[in-house]
Amino acid sequence: MPRSVLEAIKAGEWDFEPEVPASAAYDATPALPGTEEKLAVMAQRLEQGLPLWHPRDRRTYDGTDRTDS
């Protein structure tokens, strides 16, 4: 079974849908969107095959969107 969409396409599997890991499988980040810190976290997630965004990632400057604050 392919690990990524690219591997599936190379194998001719056009209907491949990767499993989405639960958000508990990776950590949220308090880094602000657009910062080097946030980009580094997203790059690391990409390298690990994780979703780019976590439901509890920080999205606002003052952190009012965070439920774990």
pLDDT tens for 9-42 read: 899 988 888 788 888 889 999 999 899 999 999 9
- Could you give phi then psi for residue 22, rounded to 5 degrees? -65, 150
Residue 36: domain span: 23-64
In a domain, 38, yes or no: yes
Give the total number of structural domains in the chain: 1
In a domain, 10, yes or no: no
In a domain, 56, yes or no: yes
Predicted confidence at residue 44, as pLDDT, reads 93
Identify the residue with better confidence: 58 or 5.
58
**In angstroms, rounded to a whole number, what is the distance separating the alpha carbons of residues 11 and 5?**
10
Identify the residue with better confidence: 65 or 6.
6
Give the contacts of 57 (CB within 8 A, at least 6 positions apart). Answer: 28, 29, 31, 38
In a domain, 44, yes or no: yes
Mean pLDDT of the chain: 85
In a domain, 41, yes or no: yes
In a domain, 45, yes or no: yes
